[in-house]
Structure 1
């Protein structure tokens, strides 16, 4: 019985299929796509010369047949393949029309006479859109730009900036591809150089922006200090104090909050540093962290059982109420020294003097509203995060 097709095509299809007969093997092939530019004017797998080539995909074995001509594709007698082939031939006519215009150096516009969405998608899948500095090394931006202008209905209505980008992509990407003049190796060399130049440009721009922000921040801080006036007035306005600061309180105010703009800036960065420290601690092994905390507490309070009991009461009260109590029932000079040695005050401007301030306030019979506010800030910003990190 004679074969319904050329023997070379018959053998190639059976070799790439799971089935052993032609009729069964053709059912495994369900996808056809156009191969354009670079493999045209070749020979089909059947041996005939072809101008334009296609490739077939087998969804059972995962094999591909290429190059194959449209006549051989029709030998499969598959309705789905014939429909796909018809769509691919429409695409081919669009490509031929574009190629003819490029060769004749005619004007190409992004409209329905020269393009359609299927053609743009085909260009995208074939890698026609290249990464470069113009699209911030994201070629999908150019593809989306073509779709946007195409779906908008008119090339002439495009914004000047977008139109200029479209023309650049046409000249540097689409036209060389249609003419078969794209050089991938040369493109990759150029891409590497463009990326280096672009990254350097970004670094320069980022440095300019940083200096600009620093200048604005400095001007703002200087104006704020001038506008605040005396420290007493600032605290009165913010906290609603009725009394002015005493000379002793004014001294502590400079220690705790800084006496100039640089020290106040350091104070402002405290929360960020605390967050970074918390993140480092979270990354530690929990069991190792617990063992280390137990060893530290036992070592420090070995000869101070009363202080250890007071610390336990302080920790228990914090876990019950969420507040750090400040009284002789829960706090002592030894405990303040312990917190200082454990670097609980490390992000304050003067950690040792902060500890001295807490000791003085602990022994004082009466605290002013300013002192109470400062103590509350220290407990919240320093001791509360320290107690929160304890896992024992």
Structure 2
């Protein structure tokens, strides 16, 4: 990793990298650049300073960076991969912690999943804030049938198509 970084010291070099994509190995036989075998989830990390990419990287190696933001990004990509796999299997994707987190919703918003339309008054932030509020409810039984419908509609018409079309999740 240091060889692919602009910095020549570990502490500075690790700040140059970001997790940029995830690929599922079909038979869990992926091999990390460090030599670890048996990877199912193979991440790409990209150097923000020079554009270098390292692939495949296992989540354990990303954890060695000691950066909370990278660990969160690993979790977001993993959740999006689960959304993709579940949708591809024709099963329902629910607004649960299995598929979503606050970080995943923020990522989806920042990446443009919540497109402006007449239902969100021309601003995707309204969809994002609504889903955050619903996701954060401790007592899910207080979600009304209208709110439940809106959640399902946003998941099926915005989130799933966005995730299925995203080349960073394969």
The TM-score with structure 2 as length reference comes to 0.68
The answer for unaligned runs of 5 or more in structure 2 is 25-32, 34-40
Matched, 1:65 2:47: no
The DSSP-based 3-state class of the residue aligned with 2:57 is helix
Larger strand proportion, structure 1 or 2? Answer: 2
1:308 matched residue in structure 2: none
* Structure of higher RCO (CA pairs closer than 8 Å, 6+ residues apart): 2
Could you say what secondary structure the match of 1:113 adopts? coil
Q: Higher Cα Rg: structure 1 or 2?
A: 1
Q: How has the CA–CA distance of structure 1 residues 32 and 181 changed in structure 2, closer, same or farther, with 3 Å as cutoff?
A: closer
The alignment covers a number of residue pairs equal to 150
1:219-230 → structure 2 map (5 Å cutoff): none
> Is 1:120 equivalent to 2:111 in the alignment?
no
Summarize the Cα distance change of 1:138–1:122 in structure 2 as closer, same or farther, 3 Å threshold: same
- Per the normalisation by structure 1, the TM-score is 0.33
1 CA distance for matches of 2:9 and 2:117?
48
1:13 corresponds in structure 2 to 5
Are the equivalent residues in 2 in contact too, given 1:129–1:174 (CA < 8 A)? yes
Per-residue deviation, residues 78-136 of structure 1 (Å, max 9, x unmatched): 433xx444333222322222211111121222122321111111111211111111101
3-state SS of paired residue (1:97): helix
Tell me, what secondary structure is at the counterpart of 1:55? strand
Q: Quick check: 1:52 aligned with 2:43? A: yes
> Is the CA contact 2:42–2:58 (under 8 Å) kept in the aligned structure 1?
no
1: CA distance between counterparts of 2:147 and 2:164? 24
Higher helix share: 1
Structure 1: which 5+ runs fail to align? 58-62, 183-392
2:114 maps to which residue? 129
SS at match of 1:34: strand
SS of residue matched to 1:105: coil
Quote the residue 1:110 is aligned against: 95
- Map of 2:37 onto structure 1: none
Distance 2:83 2:12 in 1: 35
